Structure 1
Amino acid sequence: MTTVKTVAFVEPSFYGVSFARAAFEQGHRVVSIVSSTDNPQKYGYEGIYHDLIVADIRDADSLYEAIVGSPYANGLDALIPATDYASHVTAKVAERLGLRGVPYEAALKSRNKDLARQAYAEHEVPSARFRKVRTYEEAAAAAEEIGYPVVLKPTNCASSQNVYFINNAAELQEAMEIIVAFKVTYMDFKVREEYLIEEYLDGPEFSVELFLSEGEPIFGTVTEKITSPLPYFVEILHTLPTPSHTEHTDEIIRTAVAALKAIGIANGPSHVEVKLTRTGPRIIEVNGRPGGDNISSDLLVQAFGVDVFEATVNYYLDRPIAIDKKHHRAASIAYVTADRDGVFERIEGLEALSRLQHVVRYHVAAAPGDSVTIPRSSDDRLGYIITIGDSPQEAKERALALVDSLKVVYRQQEAEIA
């Protein structure tokens, strides 16, 4: 019989909701540490936690004091970050409490892209040339040194927020004005006033879903990504396992493991983004947690029967980890996006999806009356479809065909009516 443990999650949201659900369904006592009591309803995990603790999850001291001042002061068996932005703060508090987790320095590097790039360079992990900048003048000098085209991005954000493909100095100046004004991101975390100018890596993009034990992968697979047209980098399709460039799978996985070792992650789940360039795989970024965008919550489950969230909870609790592939098929998720700016009314063609056996689920995030735009970040996507297939190519083709069969309908503007 499983012994009930007390597992605390810091601010479950997005992919982190699956964490809370996994622990809850394992029969553990689930405590959510949140910045607002409205968050369970906001992020969709009402009914899968037992207690709430309110803290400033942006501040390690506030988080620590909230825990030691709670009924769980000496009773937590695990403290798990359930949002990217709080991962380093959670790691710092977990170390202070003597709990298992990602080392603080490693979590800090994975949250801050400049620190990660420095670590890759020091350990000779193939990455992108980069410069950290604060002003347009510094950015222009860095771009000239690296050579256009370049990529401009924040050092500590996610979801492709304010990531720009830059062809020349005029585009760089315009983008710098926008990014410098970008002060606060999700959950009121501050955007660092330091930015990256990076070499643009040309080639197909992948992510590597990994689970490490003492630096060695006990699970690994490669996901193919398709992103929106430049100048943006929004992910609009994932297929797991990859249907393309399969001859490079082992090399891609080895490069991802090397990147994790470089920043100090030797255990647990990770999601590593890679581009396959003419010179081989090169690292985009490392995340010391399961992949989001339904990769872990749906695609891994559908393709292999793998529950990485359950395995991760067991890792944090120092319990045996079962992460073997139970079957072999493929799954894909394709996102519905707007092809122009406008006011959203509905998506036509959805009613046919529920009759298709190869459709696992579909979801519409946009509501009638919402202002929508061509995707500049993940927040701009309107919905998704998840499909399965006997092969990766079949799952991918089904997802793409279904998205293409849908029609985004925009609300007629008053000016047009007049």
Structure 2
Amino acid sequence: MNTRVCLVSPKPPMLQRARRLKLDVVCVYTPEEFRKLPVDAVHDEICLVLRHQSDPRELVDSVRALHDRTPFTAVLTVQEEGVITAALLNDALGLNGVSSETVALLTDKWRMRRHTAERGVSAVRAAVASSLADIKEFGAAHGYPLIAKPLGGSASVGIHKIESAEAAESVYAALSELDLRQFLLEEYLEGPEISVDALSFHGRHVPIAIADKITGTGFVEFGHAIPAQLDPSLEEEVCRTVSEFLDAVGLRDGLSHTELKLTPAGPRVVEGHNRRGGDRINTMTHAVHGIDLEEAGLAWAAGLLEPLTGRPAANGGAAVVFFEAEPGRLVAIEGADEARAHAGVVEFHLNFEVGQLIPRVRWSLDRAGYVVVTAETAQAARDLAQSLASQVRFVTEPDPAAEEDGARALRRYRDLVAELNQVPDVDALT
């Protein structure tokens, strides 16, 4: 009999990996997730389609009934929206997945800051706040600039940099418009940002891909390059910081994605996740290091992978750059065919078709598309990706339906912040 696993919110590539590993799969989806799947995505997999995110009890009962008949070896997800559900199922079934305590720490950024500070790991001055007075008090104590952001969330949503006490009022007004009754304040970490994707084996953490990050307006990520250009001593310090952080939050097995700033005082953790990184990092890691993070994480959870003995060497470099476009009605896309045809292109994707509305970029899914390339070095890949991206031009025209200067824009952004904030669901874990 094949090894049986439960996958939470798996997308078609994850299902394909499970088939390659000859796993017996049960999938858990919300109705919205299931409707978005291509018609040929599911083959022989059993799918449970339930509104489990608001009330997980029915889901737990349904999965437990299946587990009682034919036990699961593991419950796994690589999607941020699935980590709490996976943790609840692991707990309910008594499996050795990432613990609820760890998922709570990684989901609730204030909880994480307090926990790591108590252990002296990558300490960053932070406080939970709910008023303009709180912002000014924190700024007076720790200086400006500082960061204000939701207690939970992802995809660079709702982050504000406050440059001075005078700027605090306008930022507080913006946070209030988003219905953020509480938010996190942090000291601003000066320096370039990187990310580390690792795989952990019974508490031994193996960094695999270290990526330089390219950010754009409003902290939205507009590119990554692998491997990051770090001197050996700094790379060693980064890996040590990540290992200490993962130990502190109790992550012992499986995938992790940790984001850090390289400050003058050393690497500092921005946030961490018990999943692989997004933004095509898996594609680039496979190209450069020869490891498919999703498949390796799934194989380890299923007991089908031997622990890695060390970090895999890099073979060349890879980069992804996301396209930028002016908001409006898309009337033409120029230069795409020529850019797509370049020999160095590994993936090329457009998020919008002619005739569609392009919104102002507020989060990662508003970006217009991307190009992933490989080259002899990370810098060469980054230069090539940026050059190809600059050749792709999205021609838009003003359209009243695309204008988001009023109540509709605010409503969209407020709903987005609420949707991505999983902190209210953390109570189910603790």
TM-score when scaled to structure 2? 0.85
CA contact (8 A) 2:201 2:307 kept: no
Alignment of 1:196-211 (within 5 A): 196-211=184-199
CA contact (8 A) 2:209 2:289 kept: no
Q: Deviations over 1:135-164 (max 9, x none)?
A: 333233223322221111111110011111
CA contact (8 A) 1:9 1:33 kept: yes
Alignment of 1:372-387 (within 5 A): 372-387=358-373
Structure 1 223/381 Cα, relative in aligned 2: closer, same or farther at 3 Å?
A: same
Equivalent residue number for residue 194 of structure 1: 182
Matched, 1:349 2:335: yes
1: distance between equivalents of 2:396 and 2:96?
50
Equivalent residue number for residue 297 of structure 2: 312
Equivalent residue number for residue 221 of structure 1: 209
Alignment of 1:51-130 (within 5 A): 51-58=46-53, 59-70=55-66, 74-130=70-126
Q: Deviations over 1:98-131 (max 9, x none)?
A: 2221011001101111111112201111242111
2: distance between equivalents of 1:55 and 1:246?
48
2: distance between equivalents of 1:409 and 1:196?
38
2: distance between equivalents of 1:247 and 1:394?
23
Equivalent residue number for residue 399 of structure 1: 385
Q: Deviations over 1:389-413 (max 9, x none)?
A: 1111111111111112222211255
CA contact (8 A) 1:210 1:217 kept: yes
Equivalent residue number for residue 324 of structure 2: 337
Matched, 1:280 2:266: yes
2: distance between equivalents of 1:95 and 1:74?
17
2: distance between equivalents of 1:53 and 1:290?
24
Q: Deviations over 1:278-335 (max 9, x none)?
A: 1111110011111111101x01111121011121112222333365748612111000
Matched, 1:264 2:258: no
| Greater helix proportion | 2
2: distance between equivalents of 1:241 and 1:104?
32
2: distance between equivalents of 1:178 and 1:10?
34
Unaligned runs of 5+ in 1: 184-191
Equivalent residue number for residue 427 of structure 2: none
CA contact (8 A) 1:222 1:253 kept: no
Alignment of 1:225-244 (within 5 A): 225-229=213-217, 232-244=218-230
Equivalent residue number for residue 28 of structure 2: 33
2: distance between equivalents of 1:220 and 1:90?
24
The Cα shift of 1:71 comes to 7.9
Tell me the SS of whatever aligns to 2:153.
Answer: coil
Structure 1 45/125 Cα, relative in aligned 2: closer, same or farther at 3 Å?
A: farther
Structure 1 358/196 Cα, relative in aligned 2: closer, same or farther at 3 Å?
A: same
The Cα shift of 1:65 comes to 1.6
TM-score when scaled to structure 1? 0.87
Matched, 1:254 2:250: no
RMSD across aligned positions (CA): 2.5
Structure 1 321/367 Cα, relative in aligned 2: closer, same or farther at 3 Å?
A: farther
The size of the alignment, in residue pairs, is 397
Matched, 1:42 2:36: yes
Equivalent residue number for residue 200 of structure 2: 212
Q: Deviations over 1:217-262 (max 9, x none)?
A: 2343311001014xx1111110111135555111111111111111
Residue 337 of structure 2 aligns with an amino acid whose one-letter code is: E
Residue 355 of structure 1 aligns with an amino acid whose one-letter code is: A
Q: Highest relative contact order (Cα 8 Å, sep 6+), 1 or 2?
A: 2
Tell me the SS of whatever aligns to 1:140.
Answer: helix
Matched, 1:11 2:27: no
Residue 141 of structure 1 aligns with an amino acid whose one-letter code is: E
Equivalent residue number for residue 351 of structure 2: 365
Residue 86 of structure 2 aligns with an amino acid whose one-letter code is: T
Which range moves more in the overlay, 18-27 or 316-325?
316-325
Residue 117 of structure 1 aligns with an amino acid whose one-letter code is: R
Structure 1 150/263 Cα, relative in aligned 2: closer, same or farther at 3 Å?
A: same
Which consecutive aligned stretches of 4+ in structure 1 deviate over 4 angstroms post-superposition?
Answer: 43-46, 69-74, 244-247, 412-415
Matched, 1:159 2:155: yes
Residue 213 of structure 2 aligns with an amino acid whose one-letter code is: K
Residue 41 of structure 2 aligns with an amino acid whose one-letter code is: G
The Cα shift of 1:66 comes to 2.5
Unaligned runs of 5+ in 2: 402-430
2: distance between equivalents of 1:45 and 1:259?
41
2: distance between equivalents of 1:248 and 1:87?
31
1: distance between equivalents of 2:24 and 2:57?
24
Residue 205 of structure 1 aligns with an amino acid whose one-letter code is: E
Q: Deviations over 1:169-204 (max 9, x none)?
A: 454333334434446xxxxxxxx7431011111101
Tell me the SS of whatever aligns to 1:156.
Answer: coil
Tell me the SS of whatever aligns to 2:219.
Answer: coil
- Percent identical: 25
The Cα shift of 1:44 comes to 5.1
CA contact (8 A) 1:364 1:383 kept: yes
Residue 39 of structure 1 aligns with an amino acid whose one-letter code is: E
Q: Deviations over 1:344-383 (max 9, x none)?
A: 3333111112321110111011233444355332122110
CA contact (8 A) 2:67 2:93 kept: no
Residue 295 of structure 1 aligns with an amino acid whose one-letter code is: I
